[in-house]
Amino acid sequence: MAREQFSRVFWKIYDAYGTHPRYISNKGGTRSTKTYSTLQFLHRLIPLVDKPCDISSVVSETYPHLSRGAIRDFESIIGHPLIGDPHWSETNHTWTYDNGAKLEFWSADSPLKVHGSQRKRLFVNEANHIPWEIFRQMAVRTSGVIFIDYNPASVCWIQEKIESKDNCVLIKSTYKDNPFLTEMQVREIEDNQADANWWKVYGLGEEGSLEGLIYSFEQIDSLPEKDGNLIEIQGLDFGFTNDPTARVQILADHRKKVLYCRERCYQTHMQNKHIIADLQADGVGRGVEIYADCAEPKSIADIKEAGFKVIPCDKDAPVKSDKRLFQIQWMQGWKWYVTKDSVNLIRELRNYTWATDKDGNNLNEPIQKWDHCLDAVRYALFTRFGRDAGYGQYSISFSRKRYGHH
């Protein structure tokens, strides 16, 4: 068929499938054809390649949701109602192709189905509404490709556990990828631009965010090649029982205020000997500056003795009662890039917000959570570049503006 008969999303799925991935994740805004195009693709693939015993499953959170969504789309694809068609079993909600292969529709709130028999392919519709453990149970019973689609209204397991994998192809789409929308439908979507978060998720197909997130960032596949403009440093935040020890590798261009980060360690119950072994196994150069929490001088001394260049961080600031706030605001002036395998750092960035009181009013201080990797980055970045990047002038401006110092 000619490409014009399908949306761009269909052909992105077609191309992705040809690379033989484990996952194809369709992340996008409203009316981008994510669901429709995936069903279209399956409907054309199954009769061509499957055997009579092969089963592909289309799953959503509940059957009413499935009925109003994927099943209705499937009816549109075949061009008539399912009921009455000899290929369709209303009892089992299954379409049987002429080659004997089946496409079944069922809901993830059915334990018998979730923990049931194996299948060749899985399509999880609006996967962000399905818990990770249910998805995992379905995934381990799937021998072939797993398709996912969702509107990224909030952070969930998909970004952390699926899209971070090398065997996942991520497809991003918006209503602009759908050439079949009417002018009125396009106008209806674009009329919502004043609602910033709605527009970000459903108009632009980008991840929604919590109110009051402190840092913004972009994901990258890997750290860039080192050059004369990038300085490598590392940050180390000590933990033990409940809090992890976190270490982050940073490549920083202090002139452009751009940093590239990769999480290198995030573990609990690490003694100093374990931290040293981790640094050795990671091949950290003896000349690389590692900025660690100055509140742990014994740990710093132990790691130094093992031959690493560990430096106590600088927690100082011109405003003595508000050191961390000053440093955070200074760091907000940097452009952040984070490698997609930095799962815990990304989780922290997506959840690190300003604290609020019981009435929801901002307290102008960060929450006491989601900050282990971020503290490690702060120790390194601020200590190494805080004063080098005009710290003195910045501190005077800061003091006068916020605290009335003269």
SS3 state at 46: helix
Cα distances from 117 to residues 57, 101, 148, 196, in angstroms, run 11, 15, 20, 43
Q: How far is CA 117 from the centre of its chain?
A: 30
CB proximity list for 234: less than 8 A, separation 6 or greater: 247, 248, 249, 250, 264, 284, 288, 289, 290, 291, 376, 380
SS3 state at 363: strand
Tokens of 310: 């560990």
Separation between Cα atoms, residue 259 and residue 264, nearest integer Å: 15
Amino acid 388: pLDDT: 56
Separation between Cα atoms, residue 291 and residue 288, nearest integer Å: 10
Cα distances from 80 to residues 5, 75, 76, 77, in angstroms, run 18, 6, 7, 8
Cα distances from 384 to residues 230, 276, 312, in angstroms, run 13, 22, 11
- The residue with tokens 């759908």 is 178
Residue ranges for the chain with pLDDT beneath 70:
1-4, 209-210, 316-322, 357-360, 387-406
Amino acid 110: pLDDT: 75
| Contact by Cβ (8 Å): 68, 126 | no
Of 232, 266, 290, 294, the C-alpha closest to 372 is: 266
Separation between Cα atoms, residue 217 and residue 231, nearest integer Å: 19
CB proximity list for 10: less than 8 A, separation 6 or greater: 33, 37, 40, 41
CA 82, 83, 84, 87 torsion-angle sign: positive
Query: Residue 38 is which amino acid?
Result: T
Amino acid 242: pLDDT: 83
Chain segment 124-150, per-residue pLDDT in tens = 999 998 999 999 999 999 999 999 999
Amino acid 347: pLDDT: 82
Tokens of 274: 């374990």
Query: pTM of the prediction?
Result: 0.64
